Amino acid sequence: MEEAFFDTPLYREFAQLEEFALMPDESTILRFRHRLEEHKLAEKMLITVNDLMTAKGLLLKAGTVVDSTLIVAPTSTKNKDKTRYHDMHSSKKGNQWYYGMKAHIEADAESGLVHTVRGNSGHVSDIAEGNTLLHGDESVAFCDAGYQGIEKRADATPDVTWHVAMRPGKRNALDKDNEADALIDKAEKLKASVRAKVEHPFRVIKRQFGFVKVRYRGLKKNTAQLVTLFALSNLWMVSGKLIAAQG
């Protein structure tokens, strides 16, 4: 985060360090970041924020949505052996290839607030992380078509009902004039409206916080930053309600 405080005015404003003279030097921030990683404080911050959200009645746990997003890495980034860092891999989305990592998250189906964050290499499939994201208290889970068959995997939880989106090709083939197909299409629209909640946290960290590319070479460092940013995104998304409750 040390570069972010110096480069991004929004971070300084959030940390109440608007005056650049009040900024600690970069080596001090670097030592602080190493402490965060060593003691896994990023995960603890997310838990603390979520406990606050739950106490305020803003975070429910009965329904959840899982999804992932690609965070690209510069293809020119090399390690000390002059090769690409082994934690980053290429992944195909549509007809285009991206090199970097994936952020897998589980968000509340009602509010869109993030429960769980996993960072992984870009080539790890969404379905491989789907069940590991569940916090254990949900009864229903929503996901896109990339998670087809997730309920049949060995790590699936029998108490969770998965609502997986229909593949686009099958949905496009539905006959809207047919009553049965029309009902199926309506159900898919309802599922899509729930899944849309998980896109909001991604937009916050990419647009409000500017995290569109990895900042470090290691997966561990970037994952720690992702967890911190999603904790901040939870606060960002409900800041208006929290301020209203205090005032």
pLDDT (tens digit, 9 = 90+) per residue, 64-123? Answer: 999 999 998 876 655 666 666 677 888 888 788 888 899 999 999 999 999 999 999 999
Q: Give the model confidence (pLDDT) of 196-208 as tens digits.
A: 999 999 999 999 9
Answer for the pair 67, 143: CB distance below 8 angstroms, yes or no: yes
| CA nearest to 234, candidates 108, 93, 92 | 108
Q: Give the model confidence (pLDDT) of 116-161 as tens digits.
A: 999 999 999 999 999 999 998 999 999 999 999 999 999 998 999 9
Residue 37, pLDDT score: 77
Question: pLDDT over 90 for what percent of the chain?
Answer: 53
Residue found under tokens 């379905």: 127
Domain map of the chain by residue range?
40-138+199-246
Question: pLDDT over 70 for what percent of the chain?
Answer: 83
123 vs 75, 87, 98, 120, 178, CA distance in Å? Answer: 15, 10, 10, 8, 40
Label residue 33 by pLDDT band (50, 70, 90): confident
Q: Which of 2-6, 126-130, 221-225 has the highest mean pLDDT?
A: 126-130
pLDDT higher for 210 or 39?
A: 210
